[in-house]
A = this chain, B = another copy of it.
C-alpha cells in the first residue's frame, strides 16, 4: 500500500488523534492554487498526456536533478537539448531508468508526490521498482488514453476551485482566451510575471521591451512610456483573471529613485552593456513601480527572491534554463525592502507576499517584518522547502512572531500537474500536525485549531490573493 491514511501525522498517539480530527475537516476542501506553473494549453486544448515518461519524468526538474546527481545523463531521460542533438525518445526506456533509480527518492517529497499520484490516479499499490517498471508503465499509459485522464477531467477530479498560471507580459494569453471561450467552467487565471521585461539580465531584455511597447501601443523610448506599457498589459492580464504579479529577482533589493534618476537609469539599461549594479538597481526600482501600480489596479505582489539561476554553466549551454541547477542563496530582506516599505509598507490596501529560499530569514527577518507592516504577508514554504520538514520549520519559525494571519495559506507552485492534489494534501497534513501539537501542549484550543486549519487550507489563500 503506497498511501497510509495517517501519513505525516505526528507519531504520538494523542497528538495524532487530534491531527486526524483536524484533517478530517479540511481534507475535502476545494483546492485553491493561487500560484503555479501549469501550462494553460493543457486546459485550453484538453489533449491527453502523451505517456508516463512525459507526464512524470521529462518535465519535472525535481525528478531529473536527483537522477542527474547520481550520474544519469539528462539525454538518457529525454530532456531536449538546445541545439536539437538527439536524446532518448523511447518513453519506456526513460521510465525504466527512472524506476531503476527510484530508491534515490527515499525520504524526499518527490517520492510522496509520485506515490500519491500512482495510488490515487492509477490504483497502483506497490512501490515502483526495476522489476515492476513495465507493468506500471502499461497501467499508467493505458489510463492516460482514457477521457477521465484528460486535463479538464483531472482538474475537476482534483476539485480545483481556481488555479493561476504564470505568464510573461509578452504572452498573448491565447490559451486563457480559449479556455474562456470554450464554455468550460474550470477557473484558470493568469498572473503577471514581468521578469523578461524588468530584468536587464534576462535573455533578450532589450528586444523584450520593444515587444512590450508594441503589444501595449506605447512609446517605450521613455521611462514613462515603458511604465505605461506595464499598466496596459496589467489591465490586459487582469481582464484575463489575473489578481497578482510575480517577481523572481536574484535578491530582494528595492529602490525608490527620483523620477530623474529613474529615467536616467532606464536609458542606461536600454543602452549597450548594462553594469551589474545598474541591472540590480533597475530590478529594485521596478518592484517599487509595480507596487505603485498595484495600489491603483489592486494586483497582489509576489516577491520570489534568492535563487541563483542556472548555476551549472555546461547544462545551461546544452539544455537551457530551468534544468534543476538553480540554487538558493543567502537573502537579506530588512535593508533590501526598506525603500519599498518606506514608501508603501503602511498601505493597508496593498498586499505584498514575500517568499524565501533562505530559511534563516523566517524568524529573523520575515516574521518580524510581516508581523508589523500592514502591506506585508508571508508566502508558504517554497521550492526546496515545499516538503514536510520544510513546512514544519516554516510554521515553527514564523508563527510565534507573525501568527497565522500574516501568512497566506498554501501555494503548490508546480508545473507537475498530477502532483497538485498530493502537494495540497501534504500541506494540510503538516499544518494539522502542527496545530495538533499546539493543542496537546495546550497552546491552542481544539475549536480554534479547527478554524485555523480551515483558514490555512482554504480561506487565507482566497483572501490574500483576492480570488
Interface residues of A (CB under 8 A from B): 3-4, 6-15, 65-66, 68-71, 103-109, 111-112, 127, 308, 311-315, 324-330, 332, 334-335, 338, 341-342, 345-346, 348, 357-360, 363-365, 367-374, 376, 384-385, 387-390, 396-397, 399-406, 437-438, 440-445, 448, 451-452
Does B442 contact A4, Cβ atoms closer than 8 Å?
A: yes
Contact A372 B68 (CB under 8 A): yes
Q: Which residues of B contact A311 (CB under 8 A)?
A: 334, 338, 341, 369, 372
Using A312-B346, A342-B313 as known contacts, say yes or no to A66 and B371 having CB atoms under 8 A apart: yes
* B363 A400 Cβ-Cβ under 8 A: no
On chain B, the residues within 8 Å of A345 by CB distance are 312, 314
Closest B-chain residue to A370, C-beta based?
A: B69
Q: Which residue of B lies closest to A396 (CB)?
A: B389
Task: Count the copies.
Answer: 3
Some 20 contacts from A to B, beta carbons below 8 A apart, are A6-B442, A8-B443, A68-B372, A68-B374, A70-B405, A103-B405, A104-B403, A106-B444, A107-B403, A112-B443, A127-B448, A311-B338, A312-B341, A312-B372, A313-B342, A314-B346, A327-B365, A330-B364, A358-B360, A389-B400
B374 touches A65 (CB 8 A): no
What's the nearest-Cβ distance from chain B to residue A82, in Å? Answer: 16
- Find the B residue at minimum CB distance from A356: B364
B341 touches A372 (CB 8 A): no
Q: What residues of B have a CB within 8 angstroms of the CB of A402 in the complex?
A: 69
Closest to A392 in B: B396
Contacts of A445 in B (CB 8 A): 127
Kindly provide the distance from the CB of A213 to the nearest chain B CB, expressed in whole angstroms: 35
A453 to B: closest C-beta gap in Å? 11
Residues of B within 8 A of A312 (CB): 341, 345-346, 372-373
Contact residue among B104, B315, B357, B438 (Cβ-Cβ distance under 8 Å from A364): B357
A364: chain B residues within 8 A (beta carbon): 328-330, 357-360
Indicate if the CB atoms of A8 and B365 lie closer than 8 Å.
no
Q: Which residues of B contact A10 (CB under 8 A)?
A: 11, 441
Listed residue (A4, A9, A106, A127) with the most chain B CB atoms within 10 angstroms of its CB: A106
> Please, which residue of chain B has its CB at the minimum distance from the CB of A437?
B11
Distance A389 CA – B441 CA, assembled complex (angstroms)? 12
> Which residues of chain B have C-beta atoms less than 8 A from A104's C-beta?
403, 405
Contact B8 A11 (CB under 8 A): no
In angstroms, Cα B106 to Cα A451, docked, is: 11
Residues of B within 8 A of A371 (CB): 65-66, 69
Tell me whether A365 and B328 are in contact (CB under 8 A): yes
Cβ contact within 8 Å between A363 and B338: no
Residues B401 and A108 in contact, CB atoms below 8 Å apart: yes
- Name the B residues within 8 Å of A359 (CB-CB): 360, 363-364
Q: Which residue of B lies closest to A314 (CB)?
A: B346
Residue of B nearest to A5 (CB): B442
Which 6 A-B residue pairs are closest in the complex by CB-CB distance? A4-B442, A7-B442, A387-B400, A107-B399, A11-B12, A327-B368
